Structure 1
Amino acid sequence: MSIKALASAVGLILVSTQATAQVAPQEDPFEAFESGANLESPNDSVIIPIVGAMESTGIIAGTVASKTGVGQADTQLVGFGAYSVNDSYIAFLGYYNFALSERWRMDISGLQAEFMDSTFYVDPVSGDASPADSGQPVDASYIQQDWFITFRYLLSEDHAAQSRLALHGGLPVDPEPIASTTFEVEPFYRAREVRARQGDNVHGKTLGISATLDRDTRDFWPSPSQGHHAYLKVDRDWGSDQRASYTRWEAQYSHYLDLGLSRWARQQTLALTAYLSDIPTWRKDDPSRQPDWFAQSVLGGSERLRGYGDERFNDRSALYYGAEYRAIPNWQPQNRLPFFNRYDFPWWQIAVFAELGNVEDRLALDDLHDGMKWSAGFGFRFFIERMVARADFGFSNEESLFHFTVNQPF
C-alpha cells in the first residue's frame, strides 16, 4: 500500500471494505497536478478532508491541500497527511512545474509513510526478497520512503491544437490529438522495509538516475478518447557495498479508440496498452547483481494486474497487456449534492478491464507469453479539482482486491 491508496479518496467519504487494500508504489503519485497545468480551475487553493477505512489501516483521516502560483504563476504545491487508528501514517509534499527556462521544468516530491498491517508476497522468514514460493501472503508492517527531482525538457508541442482545446462539462468540445514530446532526467531515492510478524526484517534501497523519452498525442489526458501515449524509460543505479548496481529499462504503448456517444454516455473509449520491462545487467546465478524486489520488473498492484497484490510478481523481465472500456454517463448529479458541490467536479466515469501479464528470469517473449497470469475487474474514476481519483476492484485466481489511487492506469 502507498500514498495512492489515500490520495485518490480526495473529496470522497470512503466506506470500509472486506477486500484487502493493496496499492503498488508509484514514483509520482500526484502526476495529475503537473499534467493539468493547462486546465483552468476556479480555485487556486484547495483543501479537501479525507475519511476512510481499509483493512490495512483501520479508520484513517487526513487532508490533501493544493495551492497554485507559489513562486511562479504555473507552479503547484501539493501536501498530504493522514493518520489511522492502528498508527499507520503518511506524509507527502510535492512542488510541480517550476520553470527553469522556456523549455525546462522541474518537479520535487518526497514521501514518508508507514503501514502497520500490510500483505506482501516477500518472504521475510528466509530473508529472500522475492515472491514466496508457496504463494502465501506475508503479514507485515511496511515503511516506505521516496524522493524524486524531475527535470523535464519540452522537445516539441502542438501549440495550435492546444490553443483550440475548449471544455464543456469537463470534456473537450471538439476533441483532436494534441502532440507533445518530452525528455525527463530524474534523480531518485527509494527505500523499503518489511517488518514481518515472525522472522527477520527485509530492507531494500535504490538510488540513481532515470531518463525518459515520452511521446503523447492524447486529446485530453484525464480521459482520452483518441490518440496514443508511448514512453521509453531507463533506470540506472551504480550500486554500493549495500546494494546492487543495475540498469533497467521499460517501454509502454497505449492507444485510445473513440466508441462515440450513446443514449446514456457522453463519452465511450476503448483503451489498449502493452508494456515490457527488462534488466540487462541481471545475473541469475549472482544475487548481488540483482536489485531489491521493488526495483525489479514487477507486476501486481493498482497499475498492472490489479487482481494481485503489490509486487506480487518480480523478476528480470515483465510483459503486460491491458484493455479497458471507459464510459462517462450523462447522469452527473454530484454538483447538486452537499459537500461535493464545493469543488470543481464535472464528471465521474465507469470502467471495465481485463489484463494479462507474466515475469521471467530472462528476456524471452516465448517464455513471457507462456502461462500468463490474468486479472479482470471494474472501477470508477472521479475528475475532481483537475485530478483523476480512481477506485478499482480487481480479481484473479488468487484473490480479490480493492484499489484506491490517482490517474488512469494507462
Structure 2
Amino acid sequence: MYKPLRISLLVILPLLMPAQLLAQVVALDEGESLYEKRAGWLPYLFASDSLGTAIGVAGFTAGTLQPQTSTFGTAFITSNDSILLSGAFNNYRPVKNGRLLIDSFVLVDRFTDQRFYSSPVPPGQPPAGSNDSNPESYTTGISNELTFSFDFKYRLPIGSLKNDPIAVYRLKHGLLGSGPPGGNAWNPMLNGQTTFGTKFFYTYRDISDFTFNQLGTNPIDEELDARTNGLNFWLEHNNTDFPRNPARGSRQVFNIYRDFGLLDSSGSWTNLQASLSKYFDMGRSDWFNQKVVALNFWTSDTVDWQRNPDGSVSHRPPPKYGSELGGIDHLRAYQSGRFHDKSAVSYTAEMRFIPKLQPLDEVPLLNYFQIDWWQVAPFIEAGRVAPAYNTDLYFKDLKWDVGVGIRLMAFRAVVRLDIAVGEEGSSIWAMISQPFSRTGK
C-alpha cells in the first residue's frame, strides 16, 4: 500500500545552483541581441511536510556585467522558522575573448525539521540508507548548512567551439531555430561542445536536538557536524542540438571528487561518477510540436570507502555528495538521499511531448514569465546502491519508480515539476533544468 503523497521541498529555484546548469549556453529569442540586458523575478508559495508553509522570491539577470554572464538568487522563510538564501554568478570571462569561464555559488540555510538517512539501527538490520534498509531508519533534527563553490571551466577549441567558446542559440517559440552544430555524428573534433572544469567546493553542515526515528528516542541535546572541502575535476562532451532542451544527440559527463582531508575537513574521500545520456527525435505530429525519447545511465563509486568492524565507515562523503539516490534527479519518488552506499547505479527513460496547444500565453498574469511552451514527460526509473562495485549492482534488487513531469520554457530556461510514485510512496519535486542536464552535484 502506498503512503500519502508528500511534497518534498517544492521550490522553483533554491536548488538550481549546487551544480553547473549549462551556464555557458546563451539562449536568445527571435530578434533579441546578445548585448541586451535581461531580468526577471518570481514570488512563490509552497508547503511541505518538513517545512510547513513557505513564502519566497527568486530572480535572475542576464548580460549585466558581460554579454554571457548571468546571476540567480532566491530566498524563502517558512512557518516552522526555516530559512534559505542562495545565489550564483555564472559565466564570468576574466580574459576578453578567452576560453576560461568562472561560476560561483553560495547557499546558507537553516531547517528545523531536517531528515538524514543515517542512524543507529536495531541489531541484525541493514545499515540506514543501504539498499535494503528500513525507510524509517533516519535522523531528524535542526540543521544548519553553509555551501559555496568556485568553478573554473575551460571550453576546448574543438568541435562546435572551435571559433567561439560561447554557444549562442536562437529560439523560435522556445524551440531551436539556429545554433552551433550538435546532435550529429559523435566526433568531438567536429561536433558538439567539450568542456573541462575544476571546481573548489566547501560544505559545513550540523544537526542538533536530533532524534533517531526508528529507535524512538527523545531529542538528544547535542550537536554533530560534518565539513568537507576539495576539488571536483569534470569533463563534459555535449553533442546535442540544444543543451537546455535536447531533441537529438548525446552527452557524456565524467566527475572526480576529492576531499584531501585538509583544512577543517572531517575526513578524506574520493568519488568517481559518470553520466551518459542519449536523445532521439521522434518528429512532429498533428498534436505535438516535438516528441523526444530521453535516456540516461548514471553510476558512482567512492573508491576509498571502508566499512569498519564496528559498523562505522571511513572515507565516506557527507550528504549530497557521493553515491546517493533519491531526490531531484535519480529515483524521484524517494526522499533526497534516501539511499547511499559505496556504489550506485541509475537508469532513466523519459518520453517528452510538447503539445501544439499553448493556452498559457493567453493568460495575462503568465505573460510576464515568457512561457513559450509546456511539456508532458512520463518517465520510469530504476537503480540501487551497494557496498561494492560489481555486476550485481547493475541488475539485482533494483528500486524503481514511475512518474510524470510537467515542464515549461520560461525566460528561455526549462522549469520542471516532477511527480513520481515508488515502493515507499510518492514525491513532488520542482527544479530548474531538464533531468540529467547538470554536470555535477
TM-score range, shorter chain: 0.7 to 0.9
Aligned to 2:240: 218
Distance 2:265 2:152 in 1: 28
Residue 23 to residue 207, structure 1, CA distance change in 2 (3 Å): farther
Distance 1:69 1:43 in 2: 5
Aligned to 1:183: 196
- In the alignment, does 2:176 pair up with 1:172? yes
Q: Deviations over 1:282-340 (max 9, x none)?
A: 22226233333443311111110111111111111111111011111111111111221
Distance 2:329 2:415 in 1: 13
Aligned to 2:160: 158
Aligned to 2:433: 407
Of the three residues 199, 203, 208, the one matched with 2:230 is 208
Residue 248 to residue 384, structure 1, CA distance change in 2 (3 Å): same
Tell me if structure 2 keeps the 8 A contact 1:23–1:302. Answer: no
Aligned to 1:131: 129
What value does the CA root-mean-square deviation take over the aligned residues? 2.9
Aligned to 1:55: 49
Following TM superposition, by how much is the alpha carbon of 1:407 offset from its aligned partner in structure 2, in angstroms? 1.0
Q: Deviations over 1:132-182 (max 9, x none)?
A: 843215443433322110000001341589989542111014796261000
Which runs of structure 2 are paired with 1:358-397 in the superposition (5 Å)? 358-397=384-423
Which runs of structure 2 are paired with 1:252-331 in the superposition (5 Å)? 252-285=275-308, 287-331=313-357
Which runs of structure 2 are paired with 1:228-247 in the superposition (5 Å)? 228-240=250-262, 243-247=266-270
Following TM superposition, by how much is the alpha carbon of 1:61 offset from its aligned partner in structure 2, in angstroms? 1.5
**Matched residue type, 1:78:** F
Tell me if structure 1 keeps the 8 A contact 2:26–2:167. Answer: no
Residue 169 to residue 38, structure 1, CA distance change in 2 (3 Å): closer
Distance 2:247 2:151 in 1: 28
Distance 1:164 1:145 in 2: 34
Distance 1:124 1:302 in 2: 26
Percent of residue pairs identical = 28
Following TM superposition, by how much is the alpha carbon of 1:117 offset from its aligned partner in structure 2, in angstroms? 3.1
Aligned to 1:13: none
**Matched residue type, 1:214:** E
Distance 1:23 1:51 in 2: 9
**Matched residue type, 1:28:** M
Distance 1:87 1:129 in 2: 31
Distance 1:315 1:392 in 2: 25
**Matched residue type, 2:202:** Y
Of the three residues 93, 109, 115, the one matched with 1:113 is 109
Residue 157 to residue 112, structure 1, CA distance change in 2 (3 Å): farther
Where do 5+ consecutive residues of structure 1 fail to align?
A: 1-16
**Matched residue type, 2:105:** S
**3-state SS of 2:26 partner:** helix
Tell me if structure 2 keeps the 8 A contact 1:229–1:254. Answer: yes
Distance 1:274 1:250 in 2: 11
Max radius of gyration: which structure?
2
**Matched residue type, 2:153:** R
Aligned to 2:272: 249
Residue 112 to residue 163, structure 1, CA distance change in 2 (3 Å): closer
Residue 204 to residue 124, structure 1, CA distance change in 2 (3 Å): farther
Which runs of structure 2 are paired with 1:57-136 in the superposition (5 Å)? 57-101=51-95, 102-123=98-119, 130-131=128-129, 133-136=133-136
Q: Deviations over 1:7-36 (max 9, x none)?
A: xxxxxxxxxx95231589968347447244
Tell me if structure 2 keeps the 8 A contact 1:30–1:406. Answer: no
Residue 328 to residue 212, structure 1, CA distance change in 2 (3 Å): same
Residue 70 to residue 33, structure 1, CA distance change in 2 (3 Å): farther
Tell me if structure 2 keeps the 8 A contact 1:33–1:76. Answer: no
Distance 1:27 1:335 in 2: 25
TM-score scaled by length of structure 2: 0.81
TM-score scaled by length of structure 1: 0.87
Tell me if structure 2 keeps the 8 A contact 1:153–1:182. Answer: yes
Tell me if structure 2 keeps the 8 A contact 1:22–1:401. Answer: no
Tell me if structure 2 keeps the 8 A contact 1:33–1:387. Answer: no
Tell me if structure 2 keeps the 8 A contact 1:23–1:301. Answer: no
Name the one with the larger helix percent. Answer: 1
- In the alignment, does 2:148 pair up with 1:147? yes
Aligned to 2:7: 20
Following TM superposition, by how much is the alpha carbon of 1:71 offset from its aligned partner in structure 2, in angstroms? 2.9
Distance 2:358 2:18 in 1: 26
Residue 276 to residue 362, structure 1, CA distance change in 2 (3 Å): same
Q: Which moved more, 1:287-296 or 1:267-276?
A: 287-296
Following TM superposition, by how much is the alpha carbon of 1:56 offset from its aligned partner in structure 2, in angstroms? 2.4
**3-state SS of 1:346 partner:** strand
Where do 5+ consecutive residues of structure 2 fail to align?
A: 184-191, 212-218, 437-441
Aligned to 2:23: 34
Distance 1:55 1:315 in 2: 26
**3-state SS of 1:123 partner:** coil
